[in-house]
Every structure is written in structure tokens, then in C-alpha cells.
Amino acid sequence: MSESNLSLDSVISLQRQYRFQYEEAQQSYVLLYPEGLIKLHGSAGEILKRVDGKTTVEGIVSDLQQNFPGVELRQDVIEFLEDAYVRGWIRTK
């Protein structure tokens, strides 16, 4: 992770103008912000659900691995969080 914005022990949280919630009518998690919403498909919702301002990147990966055993998810999760950082959805504390 040498050229990345996040390290495994970064504690991450949602940027303050974003809100994360489950939307029944959409049958998915969404990320809400003033201009609109982002529908989170599949694992995106599961990952962002664990961004609570207290847990590190490693903590999130570990928790996901516990909940989804047998799935090789480490790289995908880290890439997703890197992307979320670049998009401005999350920030490090």
C-alpha cells in the first residue's frame, strides 16, 4: 500500500456531508449527500456499514472476513476503500 491514501491502521469515517442508511424502497444501502444518492451494490454496503469512525481499515477487513468466511476479500475491500477515499466519501481521523 505504498502509494495509497490509507494504511491498514487508518481509522476511517464518513465525510460529514454523507449519510449511510438502508432504503427499503431501493432494497439496498445508499449513501446520501446534498446533491443526491449513491445506490450501493452488493459488498459496497457491507463495507461502508462498518465505517464508524472508530474502526481501522484492518478492523473492517477482519470483521468482513469473519462474517464472510472462505471469501478472498482483503484486496477488494482495500481497493474499495481507497476508491471511496478518492471520491471523498470517507476520510481518515
Partner 1 sequence: MSEAGSAPSNVKPPLWVNAEITFRCPLHCLFCYNPVDYAHSGPELTTDEWVTALRQARELGAIQLGISGGEPLMRDDTEIIVAEAHKLGYFTTLLTSGIGLTEKRIAAFREGGLDAIQLSFQDSTRELNDFLSSTRTFELKSKVAALIKQYDYPMVLNVVLHRLNIDHVDKILDMAEAMGAEQVELANTQYYSWALVNRDQLMPSLEQLQRAEQITNAFRARVGNKMKIYFVVPDYYATRPKACMNGWGSVFLNIAADGMALPCHEARMLPGLTFPNVKDHDVRWIWHESPGFNAYRGDSWMKEPCRTCPEKTKDFGGCRCQAFMLTGDATNADPVCDLSPNHHLIAEQVAKAQQPIEPANVHPIVFRDDKNSRRLGAKSGVPVPAGAAVDS
Return the number of the residue (9 or 83) whose C-beta is nearest partner 1. Answer: 83
Q: How far is the CB of 17 from partner 1 (least distance, A)?
A: 5
Q: How far is the CB of 71 from partner 1 (least distance, A)?
A: 30
- The helix (run of H) or strand (run of E) holding residue 82 is helix 74-87
Residues in touch with partner 1 (CB under 8 A): 16-17, 19, 21, 23-26, 30, 32-34, 36-37
Q: How far is the CB of 59 from partner 1 (least distance, A)?
A: 26
| Cα→Cα distances 61→6, 19, 36, 70, 73, Å | 13, 21, 28, 13, 8
